[in-house]
Amino acid sequence: MLNRLQETGNTVEVQDTTLALDVLGRYVCSTWDEAVNNGGVAFDVVVIGAGMFGAYCAEKMFRNSNLRVLVLEAGPFLVSEHVQNLSRIGLNAAGAIAVPSNQNDPGTRERVWGNAWRSQVAFPGLAYCLGGRSLYWGGWSPRLTAADLARWPKSIADFLQSADGTGDEYERTEKETGVFDKTDYIAGPLFDELLKKFKGVVGVVPTIDAIEEAPLAIQASPPASGLFSFDKYSSAPILTDAIRDASSAPDFRRRLFLVPRAHVTRLDTNGNAVTGLQVIVNGVPRTLSIGPNCAVVVAASTIESTRLALESFPTPLMGRNLMAHLRSNTVVRIQRSAFDPLPAHLQAAALLVRGSTPQGRYHLQVTAAAISGPDPEAVMFRMIPDIDLLDATLAAESAGSIVITLRGIGEMQGDKDPNTTKNTGNPPSFVDLSDQTDEFNRRRAWVNVIKTSDEDLLWNAMDNAAMAIAQAIAGDSAKLQVVSKGRDGLGTTHHEAGTLWMGTDPNASVTDLDGRFHHIANAFVAGPALFPTLGSANPSLTALSLARKTARAIVNRSLTIEADFIPLGTGGIAGWQMAGSGGFMELGGNIIESVDGIGLLWFTKQQFGDFILRVDWRATNFDDNSGVFIRFPALANDPQVAVDNGYEIQIDDTGKNPDTNPPTFGDALHQTGAVYTLAPSSKIASRPVGQWNNYEIEARGNNIKVTLNGENVCELKNGTRPLNGHIGLQNHHPGSRVQFRNLRVKSV
């Protein structure tokens, strides 16, 4: 028997089984109650699915905001790295299988792989675990071509491939995933010779457009001095690392949780907003109520995200435009004599070939090695830490011929017309709801994916190009041996896309350019379901870039402010600096709270002259003390500089004057709303303790006007201190806990 979690006092220990200590699972995951019932502020974002795109999107929101993020993953924790970064422990992807009805469902395969939908087409299914299919993916990450993106909304095309103020988003994603420095992983004499040979076929094989270095999401060289490379990319490590950062705070103010075995079955709506999630957690039904400002990111794969949307808030367009890829494998063996002289021992090499026909685009993923077996990728994607194994591998790479695999990837075209008749086994491809139900009594997805006659022509052209390239490189047919040729099933590529495509017209697309459903104000999509067209490129690079765009949009949405105002920072303490003692802590919800003191948190990035500043604040006790400082010079570690040179708009409903002996209370120069010691507050206009208040502080020339909750409470005229400077928030004394949010400013 395996031991269950043991509780000692209020501490849940790491699970100790007869075989192992479950440190990874316990240090990364949380129970439902730990995440939901800890007394913290409400979640700002719920991400459904911790696979490639959900994990990535969640990490970006956590790192770049003060939002509170909950990630719900239907499967368990498995491992925290791509399986090819680990020792060979026997983790494999499941093979494709057709499951047209529940009685054909084989259940869980390869530990975490399940077939969620029903189809007459064979699919491998999904990996239900942290990281999802990103733990197993091949790593090929080509960009969509300019011709592909010409069929996308222009602003998205510009966002991906050209500067928009933040730089080329494709390049940012490539650097993050290890794609950018392509030859840090694939290099050497075999690569150089193949690159030269393949460039020679451009113009010879008529459908070939370009030869490129292999865009593999593998980082072999450190990104900077003192850092390790991360090998093959998966989203699991970045989410894991973010969770560990978040775990340094107590649960009530922790900003990122991952709850495994939490299967979201439905999204409840009221009007145009999601207001709740129906979740099965370890077999127990749960309901999570959320407010209309809480963003929900559906990232459960293209097909399952579409099923959840159809189950929850359907429209006629959802499930249309389904696309996958046409995939072929041509393996040839070419004698070494067809190449310029090569060394005896060779490493593997890889290239990308771009091609097009009138029917669409394709590319060839080329891998090569001097091996006796038929699979160069077995050499490319293997860690060999044992010197004896390394010697044996290198010895095998001295074969008398080069084995080259040309894997063709051809695009499919989606049908967006909601009036096209759906007919299983015939075009168009689509996702709909099945009459089969799952274990939670929800309708499964039904998937019809099928090629058209035009796609058949493209497939033939792609296969012909692969053979024409091999023949051109070999030169002499006697030096060429075809090892194998074959086509993969349409459901085997893991590249399903397009069913929730983005666009500017709600009548012609499902989601907007940030990935938000047009008709649902707080629900977003992450993943290739957003693609208007697929092209031939593997979808991960583009979908990761779009997931980052969605994360950024959700963060900016949380900081939505009045016209002409700009937020001070990103809702937390990034961009701010402490002077003095104590500090501020982030609580999520773009809320920060003062801790101990006396000190000053000041915004370092900008000084302001004439402006209107709006600040939401609330006290937790009647005698809490704080203040908003303006127009003070840059500080070192002495907040007294701001006291002497700037202005403080006081927060203290007791009106305590510390300069009298004994201190007096109710002093208008020291109470909430006053410009501290310089202009009195006419009244206490603050709301009861625990309720939010709004300051509007207007500074024009030598005059400062203070409005609290819509009431004019103070005016300072003819001030004598500087006319510009920084903005800051005071933390006053131990036990005083004043919270702030929504700091925004407008220059006037």
In the structure, what pLDDT confidence band is assigned to residue 5 with cuts at 50, 70 and 90?
low
In this predicted model, which residue has the larger pLDDT, 525 or 401?
A: 525
Residues 215-241, mean pLDDT to the nearest whole number: 86
Evaluate if residue 271 carries a pLDDT over 90.
yes
**C-alpha torsion 704→707→712→718, nearest 10:** 0
Which pLDDT score is estimated for 165? 43
Residue 142 DSSP label? P
Which pLDDT score is estimated for 500? 98
- Within its chain, how far is the Cα of 61 from the centroid? 8
Which pLDDT score is estimated for 342? 87
By the 8 A CB rule, do 429 and 451 touch?
no
In the structure, what pLDDT confidence band is assigned to residue 2 with cuts at 50, 70 and 90?
very low
Burial of 212 (0-12, 13-18, 19+ CB in 10 A): middle
pLDDT in tens, 539-573: 999 999 999 999 999 999 999 789 899 999 999 99
Assigned token pair, 501 = 């495509």
In the structure, what pLDDT confidence band is assigned to residue 376 with cuts at 50, 70 and 90?
low
Evaluate if residue 424 carries a pLDDT over 60.
yes
Evaluate if residue 102 carries a pLDDT over 90.
yes
Which one of 3.40.50.920, 3.20.20.220, 3.60.15.10, 3.50.50.60 gives the CATH number of domain 22-140+230-321+496-558? 3.50.50.60
What CA–CA distances, in Å, run from 693 to 586, 617, 629, 665, 727? 19, 5, 17, 22, 18
Element (H, E) at 585: strand 583-588
Residues 718-742, mean pLDDT to the nearest whole number: 96
Evaluate if residue 267 carries a pLDDT over 80.
yes
HEC string of 147-209 equals HHHCCCCHHHHHHHHCCCCCCCHHHHHHHHHCCCCHHHCCCCHHHHHHHHHHHCCECCECCEE
In this predicted model, which residue has the larger pLDDT, 20 or 436?
A: 436
Which pLDDT score is estimated for 655? 96
By the 8 A CB rule, do 600 and 579 touch?
yes
Sign of CA dihedral 357, 359, 360, 366: negative
Which pLDDT score is estimated for 164? 46
Distance CA 52, CA 730 (A): 41
Nearest CA among 210, 206, 185, 205 for reference residue 195: 210
Evaluate if residue 719 carries a pLDDT over 60.
yes
Which pLDDT score is estimated for 349? 87
Residues 668-682, mean pLDDT to the nearest whole number: 97
In the structure, what pLDDT confidence band is assigned to residue 225 with cuts at 50, 70 and 90?
confident
Residues 279-286, mean pLDDT to the nearest whole number: 96
Question: Domain spanning 566-747 has what CATH number?
Answer: 2.60.120.560
pLDDT in tens, 164-181: 445 589 999 999 999 988
pTM, full prediction: 0.93
In this predicted model, which residue has the larger pLDDT, 344 or 296?
A: 296
Assigned token pair, 298 = 């559906």
Evaluate if residue 133 carries a pLDDT over 80.
yes
Q: Average model confidence (pLDDT) for the chain? A: 92
In the structure, what pLDDT confidence band is assigned to residue 3 with cuts at 50, 70 and 90?
low
Evaluate if residue 230 carries a pLDDT over 90.
no
Q: What percent of the chain has pLDDT over 90?
A: 83
Residue ranges per domain, the chain?
Answer: 22-140+230-321+496-558, 180-214+325-411+452-487, 566-747
Distance CA 715, CA 699 (A): 10
In this predicted model, which residue has the larger pLDDT, 400 or 34?
A: 34
Evaluate if residue 437 carries a pLDDT over 60.
yes
**3-state helix vs strand vs coil in the chain, percent to 5:** 20, 30, 45
Which pLDDT score is estimated for 1? 39
By the 8 A CB rule, do 299 and 525 touch?
yes
Which pLDDT score is estimated for 221? 79
Which pLDDT score is estimated for 73? 98
**C-alpha torsion 633→637→643→646, nearest 10:** 10
In sequence order, the 6+-apart residues with CB closer than 8 A to the CB of 11 are none
Residues 115-120, mean pLDDT to the nearest whole number: 97
pLDDT in tens, 12-43: 577 887 888 888 999 999 999 999 999 999 99
Evaluate if residue 417 carries a pLDDT over 90.
yes
